[in-house]
Amino acid sequence: MNPIGSIGTLYPSALARADAPVAAPKIALPSQAGAAAAPTDGFTQMLDGLVGAVDAKQQAASAATRKVLLGESDQLHQSIIAMQEASVAFTMMVEVRNKLVESYQELMRMQV
C-alpha cells in the first residue's frame, strides 16, 4: 500500500522542491541524505520511517498495558504515559497525512 508514494512518480520535479520544506527542522530526518540521491526515495523513506516509529510506539504502549492487565507489572503511570505518547505519535502521523493530501489537492488545482 503506497498511495502517497505514487505521487513521486507523477510529479518528481515539483516534489524535489517540495522536499526541502517538508523536512521540518526540529525532527532529524534520516532522508536528508536520501533526498540528494533521489527525491522520491527520500520521501517514501521518511513516510515509512514515520509509520514504523508510530507502530513501535503503539506496540510499546500495548505491551506495557498488557503487563498491567495481567498483573505482571504495577507501573500504572508508565502504561498511561506510553499510551499518551502513542496517541501523540499517531496524531502526528495523521496530521502529516492531512498536510500531504492537502498539498496534493492544491497541486491538482493548479492551472497548467
Partner 1 sequence: MNLISGIDVTAGALNAQKTRLDVVAQNIANAQTTRTAAGGPYQRQVVSFESELMRRAGSTAAGPVGNNLQSVRVAAIAPDRTPGQQVYNPQHPDAGADGMVTMPNVNIAYEMVDLITASRAYEANLSVVKNARQMAMKALEIGK
Partner 2 sequence: MIDPIFQTDNYQLARKLLDASVLRHEAIASNIANVETAGFRRLDIAPDFATQLKTRMAAGDFGRTADSLRPALVEDQTARSVRPDGNTVELERELLVMNRNLVEHDFLTEIVSRNIKQLKLAITGRGV
Site for partner 1, rule CB under 8 A: 67-78, 80-81, 84, 87
What amino acid is encoded at 47 in this protein? L
Q: Which of residues 80-109 bind partner 2 (CB under 8 A)?
A: 81, 84-85, 87-89, 91-92, 95
Nearer to partner 1, 87 or 98 (CB): 87
Shortest CB 42 distance to partner 2, Å: 13
* Distance of closest approach, residue 57 Cβ to partner 2, in angstroms: 6
With residue 61 as reference, give the H or E element that holds it: helix 39-69
Binders in 22-51 for partner 2, by CB under 8 A: 26-30, 46, 49-50
Angle in degrees, CA 25, 27, 33, rounded to 5: 80
Pick one of partner 2, partner 1, none as the site partner of residue 53 (Cβ within 5 to 8 A by kind). partner 2
| Cα angle: 87, vertex 88, 94; to 5 degrees | 90
Alpha-carbon span 80 to 60, nearest angstrom:
11
